[in-house]
Chain A
Amino acid sequence: GAGVSQSPRYKVAKRGQDVALRCDPISGHVSLFWYQQALGQGPEFLTYFQNEAQLDKSGLPSDRFFAERPEGSVSTLKIQRTQQEDSAVYLCASSPGRLGQLNSPLHFGNGTRLTVT
């Protein structure tokens, strides 16, 4: 079946522009995570959704970052007034389990590579 799908695959933005990154999780998956992977680094947690509820946004680096999942399926990560330090690969992952019951592994998408010039 289909895996986690992210779009666009690549995004180039000029500094100061707003961007929106989309994640289509595996159908029926309750949990959805966003991670940020800077060049040469491991992914870092940004935020977590359980269905439509954003239960943890402790990893969002600033108030320019905003994520939503209004119907409990597709999620969008929005970055306002992009800065060069926002350049990274943004990874989305989903799981059928709920927070605290995640015996199933996370399924990761291929990511969106954002370059801010």
Chain B
Amino acid sequence: AQSVTQLDSHVSVSEGTPVLLRCNYSSSYSPSLFWYVQHPNKGLQLLLKYTSAATLVKGINGFEAEFKKSETSFHLTKPSAHMSDAAEYFCVVSKHNAGGTSYGKLTFGQGTILTVHP
């Protein structure tokens, strides 16, 4: 079984300040972990993914996440928030096969709504 817990339902930051969105996971397998972003009335877009290679993963739009097995965490960060970052963010876990590929069936967290103030 696998699950993710996003620790904050809402995060509010000022433009230009750092962003931290927290995620803890639980998985009985070696997990693949993802962050997806969903802008209003838009489809889900992949920000980044971890699949057992480097523990620090860089994604699009300046976002990155660090896989910490000892803490079962996969927090998303960005050094400087932009107004266009305002959206809902989902931490996602997938079963990860021994061959290094994702099973594909995704388990989503509840989501964190990021608000960016001017």
Contacts and interface: CB of A to CB of B under 8 A. Distances in A.
A88 interface: no
Interface string A29-51: 00101010000111111001000
A96 B45 CA distance: 16
Given A108-B44, A111-B43, A99 B104 contact: yes
B43 A41 contact: no
B74 to A, nearest CB: 15
Contact of B101 (A40, A103, A109): A103
Nearest to A44: B108
Interface in B17-57: 34, 36, 41-46, 49, 51
B43 A31 contact: no
A43 B108 contact: yes
Interface residues of B, number: 27
Determine which residue in B49, B101, B104 has the highest number of CB atoms from chain A within 10 A of its CB, and name it.
B104
Contact of B104 (A35, A43, A48): A48
Nearest to B6: A42
B87 to A, nearest CB: 14
Interface range for A:
20 to 34
Interface string A89-117: 00101010101111101101111000000
Contacts of B80: none
A69 to B, nearest CB: 16
B102 interface: yes
B105 to A, nearest CB: 6
A46 to B, nearest CB: 10
A76 to B, nearest CB: 19
13 contacts: A3-B43, A33-B104, A33-B106, A43-B44, A45-B105, A45-B107, A56-B105, A97-B101, A97-B104, A100-B99, A103-B100, A106-B44, A110-B42
Given A48-B104, A102-B102, A111-B43, 5 more contacts: A95-B104, A100-B101, A106-B44, A110-B41, A110-B42
